[in-house]
Structure 1
Amino acid sequence: MSTLIPTIKNGNKRNHDYNLASLPSLPSWFDDFLGKSFGNEFMSNFNTGITLPAVNVIDGANEFVVEMAVPGLDKSDFDINVDNNLLSIGVEKETEQNEDTENYTRREFGYSSFKRTFSIPESVDTDKISASYKDGIMKIMLPKRDEAKKKPLKNIKIS
């Protein structure tokens, strides 16, 4: 049976004959260095961007449902597309805070984004895909074609 399959985008797959697993990656080395060198006071506001949200995929009798917990966003922040049997869910969010007082001006801004991509099985009717966002939960309904829907159990009597 077909299921939604997450695709890897910009993956970290290595095709080398030698083993680099014992060496730390440069980003993890910096994370380790910064995490050990500075206290939590410094790191508390350091990386407050959106992280890659976890996704639930439900295989129902009549449809697949993709659920994603992404609180604090507006419907307009989402970009959901279907292209060549790939479902992509992306978010771009810009924030800006200005604070003016008598002696100084402070301006903080940020930019956060993520993108999740899934392969859509042939059993999905892509023309009828819909989405809703309520209470921080994004739900995308992918209805199955009639021929792919699960048929009810049929009891066959012996004659």
Structure 2
Amino acid sequence: MTLVKFANGNKGASVSPFLNDVFGSFFNDAYVSDRLVSRVPAVNIAETENHYHIELAAPGLSKEDFKLNLEKDVLTISAETKSESTDENKKYNRKEYSYSSFVRSFTLPETADHANIEAEYNNGVLKINVAKKEEAKIVNREISVK
């Protein structure tokens, strides 16, 4: 019987530990990782007696950056930001551009009232409240036993 050792996530398992250090530090660099990784905001979805609640974590944006669109039963949330800064110093001009965007789509249930949707952006969280139709609201009543 022969035992075979597997790397199972060890960094030192490649041909050269030096290459692991170089490529690992390159891809873990914040500048590179921000541009390589697609950033989609995290979402919490909840339901209460009268509403559906969607909370989208999108810090660093303003309410003007968001676009909400409802087409049939699909609610689409998108945001786009562009920034440009110029620093003129010592006879040279430096320009830095930043661009980021995302799109998230949610299929609303048939019980959602499309005419009654509200959105608010506060402290980095976009909160969307979708009202339920009257016939979809839970009716609680006590039933007597005869």
Report TM bin, short chain. 0.7 to 0.9
1:109 equivalent to 2:93? Answer no
- Deviation at residue 119 of structure 1 after TM alignment: 0.5
Q: Give the strand-richer structure, 1 or 2.
A: 2
1:158 equivalent to 2:139? Answer no
Q: Quote the residue 2:129 is aligned against.
A: 141
Identity score, percent? 33
Contact persistence 2:119–2:127 (CA under 8 A):
yes
Scaled by the length of structure 2, the TM-score of the pair is 0.77
The amino acid across from 1:155 in the alignment is E
1:83 equivalent to 2:71? Answer yes
Q: Quote the residue 1:62 is aligned against.
A: 50
- Which runs of no fewer than 5 residues in structure 1 stay unpaired? 1-32
Contact persistence 2:116–2:131 (CA under 8 A):
yes
Contact persistence 1:98–1:108 (CA under 8 A):
yes
Q: Quote the residue 2:25 is aligned against.
A: 39
After the TM superposition, which of the residue ranges 96-105 and 51-60 deviates more from structure 2? 96-105
Compare relative contact order (CA 8 Å, sep 6+) and give the higher one, 1 or 2: 1
Matches of 2:143 and 2:24, distance apart in 1: 71
- Deviation at residue 47 of structure 1 after TM alignment: 4.2
Aligned residue for 1:125, secondary structure, equals strand
The amino acid across from 1:57 in the alignment is I
1:123 equivalent to 2:111? Answer yes
- Which runs of no fewer than 5 residues in structure 2 stay unpaired? 1-18
Matches of 2:127 and 2:100, distance apart in 1: 21
The amino acid across from 1:68 in the alignment is L
Q: Quote the residue 1:52 is aligned against.
A: 40
Scaled by the length of structure 1, the TM-score of the pair is 0.71
Matches of 2:101 and 2:27, distance apart in 1: 25
Matches of 1:64 and 1:48, distance apart in 2: 32
Contact persistence 2:52–2:131 (CA under 8 A):
yes
CA RMSD of aligned residues (A): 2.3
Matches of 2:31 and 2:42, distance apart in 1: 22
The amino acid across from 2:70 in the alignment is V
Aligned length: 126
1:129-157 Cα distance to aligned partner (Å, 9 max, x none): 110001111011100000001112x2222
